[in-house]
Chains A and B, each alone.
Chain A
Amino acid sequence: MSDGQILPSGRVLRYAFHERLIHWVAALSYLYLLLTGLAFWSPWLFWLAVVVGGGTVARELHPWFGLVFVTAVVLMFRMWGAQMHETAVDKQWWDAIPHYIRNEDEQVPTAGRFNGGQKLLFWGFFWGGILLLLSGLVLWFPNWIPWNLRYLRDVAVIVHASAALITIGLFIIHVYMGTAMERGAFGSVIRGDVSANWAKRYHGIWYKQIAGDPNVRK
């Protein structure tokens, strides 16, 4: 398993190459889906479709990027799904969320490889991705839906928009935390490593696991 390892420098490898690659396949395809999807969402944002090649091109490519994104999500599920089950520490972490928001991190319990918020993000994108895929397939081929099954189209438009909004909310928080809020997090998903102090502070249970502390392994 790609749980991470302590590097000879003392820094900690948090995400292996294949994890970072899949993350960025998902991230970049999601970005395209977001821009074109927002163009279809509101007339005030239709210019976004023009920027990425025009409305017709956007409509042609959006579903294909959707398949790329869902594929990346499925690969993430295979990589990380087993590590994303909620634990007792995650419940404590959520209880301490006001401290986390106020950057009072010493009052926040240290987490395993993924904290409660990351697990929420993961499952939000996983289930959101499934809903987007199913509704998106209907929206991809509306002319294949016979008239007596038209409720599928009716349901698809609202499910697709709702699921997309949920992922957008998660996406805003994720990008903010990964780039601006939590120093060191962006490096972990670009170059792969974090400092030992970072790992101990935020993911101390995980750090002890990969450091080989036998008392921590379950």
Chain B
Amino acid sequence: MSQAGTEIIRVSGHAGSVPGAGLNREFQVCKLIDTTTCIGCKACEVACLEWNGYPFTQTTFDNSYQTMPDTAWNYWNLIRFDEYEHPDHGLMLLMRKDQCMHCEEPGCLEACPADGAIVQYANGIIDFQQEHCIGCGYCMTGCPFNIPKFSPTARKVFKCTLCNDRVSVGLEPACIKACPTGCLHFGTKPEMKELAETRAAQLRDVSGFSNAGVYDPSGVGGTHVIYVLHDATRTEAYGGLPANPRIPWTVQVWKKPLKWLGNFAIIGGLLGVFIHYLRFGPKIIEGDDEKPAPTPSASQQPGEGGKK
């Protein structure tokens, strides 16, 4: 929800050009989340609520350190907590800060039919513009990460903005600001990618996590939120982080081939009946074109009168 209109490079449900097309000066931003140094303190959850002005809600205790089962329309940032029995490392307490991943190829934006309701900025942030949102929820279908959440009262969909309002004035996101362990970093995508790879190599070479790696899934074109994981081959263990997220294939078929096939068929149908009329004209019964027999009783039939 920012005013940085000229830096918009992609707009949902939009016909015609976009204001930031071809813009090349903006840094691609990135949030790095090192799950191996997260202690699950939830300072980022609190900072997110504080900055975005949402009230604290009742937490759910389910024999877990997790605040609630899922993110919510007014709770965009949730540390997912899992006790995981790893074959090599024994019991692991996995903590993953879950929020919008800010995909380079965003399924939410792809699926959205409302002009301007979802935008992609040149710096990579995906932002919902609720004043243009029609509340259809197609973004929820397009998202492979279960992030957009519907507000039953506003009848609009909300999600993490990557603190676009802070980033656009040169501040780091609120969650980054609050993190006490330094497991959260914010910078340009190349910087963060390099830092993440360095950390993953350290985990592999020094700490014995031979499968440590960086999560920057290519199925959605890469993301502007990346993870360092102890074991990048077991992403699902981290609160259901999908191993290879993609926009659902039905959404892709619907928005690309089916759309063009459908448009072609509709226009073809309209042209077809028009040309048919030009070529063959109407079917007319000779001397009988809807005119009633000229009998006096014709206009007196109950319910069926008034013909011409």
Q: A: which residues have CB within 8 A of B?
A: 7-11, 13, 17, 39-44, 46, 49, 55-56, 58-60, 101-103, 105, 139, 142-143, 147, 150, 153-158, 161-162, 165, 168-169, 172-173, 176, 180-184, 187, 191-193, 195, 197-198, 201
The residue that B283 contacts in the complex, of A7, A105, A150, with Cβ under 8 A, is A105
B285 near A195 with CB under 8 A, answer yes
Smallest CB separation, A121 vs chain B (Å): 14
Cα A21 to Cα B4 with chains together (Å): 53
Smallest CB separation, A87 vs chain B (Å): 22
Q: In the complex, which residues of chain B have a beta carbon less than 8 angstroms from the beta carbon of A7?
A: 301, 304
Tell me, yes or no, whether B113 is within 8 Å of chain A by CB: yes
Q: In the complex, which residues of chain B have a beta carbon less than 8 angstroms from the beta carbon of A155?
A: 250
* Chain B residues numbered 220-271 whose CB sits less than 8 Å from any CB in chain A: 248-251, 253-254, 258-259, 261-263, 265-266, 269-270
Cα A105 to Cα B298 with chains together (Å): 28
Tell me, yes or no, whether B149 is within 8 Å of chain A by CB: yes
Other A-B pairs beyond A9-B292, A55-B132, A154-B249, 6, CB < 8 Å? A43-B115, A172-B266, A176-B273, A181-B277, A183-B285, A184-B289
Which of chain B's residues has its CB closest to A46's CB?
B115
B262 near A161 with CB under 8 A, answer yes
Q: Majority SS of interface residues in chain A?
A: helix
A192 near B303 with CB under 8 A, answer yes
Cα A161 to Cα B252 with chains together (Å): 13
Interface size for B (C-beta < 8 A) is 60
B150 near A58 with CB under 8 A, answer no
The residue that B15 contacts in the complex, of A44, A184, A191, A192, with Cβ under 8 A, is A44
Tell me, yes or no, whether B217 is within 8 Å of chain A by CB: no
Cα A102 to Cα B276 with chains together (Å): 9
Q: In the complex, which residues of chain A have a beta carbon less than 8 angstroms from the beta carbon of B141?
A: 142, 150, 153-154, 156-157
B293 near A101 with CB under 8 A, answer no
A172 near B288 with CB under 8 A, answer no
Q: In the complex, which residues of chain B have a beta carbon less than 8 angstroms from the beta carbon of A59?
A: 134-136
**Shortest beta-carbon contacts, A-B, top 10:** A142-B137, A143-B150, A55-B134, A176-B273, A9-B298, A43-B15, A153-B141, A40-B113, A158-B250, A172-B269
Which of chain A's residues has its CB closest to B270's CB?
A172
Cα A8 to Cα B282 with chains together (Å): 28
